[in-house]
Amino acid sequence: MKIVLATNNQDKVKEIKDFFSNYEIYALNEVMTPFEIAENGKSFQENALIKVRAVYEKLVNLGLESEFIALSDDSGISVEALNFAPGIFSARYSGKNATDASNRAKMIAELNARNLRESRAFYTACIAVASRFGDYSAHGFMHGKVINEERGNNGFGYDFMFIPDGFSRTVGELEFSVKREISHRSRGLNLISPVLRFLERKFTSNRPNF
């Protein structure tokens, strides 16, 4: 059983490959031509399932559904002081051509406009899997606070301004091994792990005998 990720985001690909080092994992562009997916769901779960089902449909069209399953991640940050924005819009918080840097700059500006140096916040990651044996999903969370400045050089997204509960440093200042233990994505991947083991058994038991 091989896994194709519904993303070409190399930071996400690296995190998932490191977490699931015992599986063969491929970025989307290693298996198929990347294509646009309209993420029009109203929750992380809806968007994760939209993405993973679209990629699985492509696997079926390519005749690869007996070899691959699809896995997606939809994640973002919710800030209490911003009425829990940006939420599912985290990746495009600063507009159509948003970048990680422009998204962080907007969040800092929004905190400053409210004369806030920090606010409670949490990360969410919904991990979804689609295969010929069904669709599954699991959520992981990381709680803490955002601050109105960037600190650190590790990570991506909002990591440089997010301090997890129990820590005094931002995720961007933490060692990768620590982030792997506490992150929302790792927690979601951990919860989906039994599903992958189940699917691996199903793939093995349904393998044709020649």
Do 167 and 113 form a contact (C-beta atoms < 8 A)? no
Do 68 and 59 form a contact (C-beta atoms < 8 A)? yes
Beta strand pairing call for 2-5 and 24-26: parallel
Angle, vertex CA 38, rays to CA 95 and CA 48, nearest 5: 100
Do 179 and 125 form a contact (C-beta atoms < 8 A)? no
CA 156 to chain centre: 12
Q: Identify which of 124, 141, 126, 140 has the alpha carbon closest to the alpha carbon of residue 77.
A: 124
* Active-site residue flag, 74: yes
CATH topology of domain 2-205: Maf protein (3.90.950)
Tens-level pLDDT at each residue, the chain (210 residues): 999 999 988 888 999 999 999 999 999 999 999 999 999 999 999 999 999 999 999 999 999 999 999 999 999 999 999 999 999 999 999 999 999 999 999 999 999 999 999 999 999 999 999 999 999 999 999 999 999 999 999 999 999 999 999 999 999 999 999 999 999 999 999 999 999 999 999 998 876 544
- Distance set, CA 204 to CA 57, 67, 199 (Å): 21, 10, 8
Angle, vertex CA 157, rays to CA 128 and CA 140, nearest 5: 35
Which one of the listed residues 73, 74, 100, 159 is annotated catalytic? 74
Q: Is 92 helix (H, G, I), strand (E, B) or coil?
A: helix
Q: What is the pTM of this model?
A: 0.94
Q: What is the Cα–Cα distance from 171 to 65, expressed in whole angstroms?
A: 37
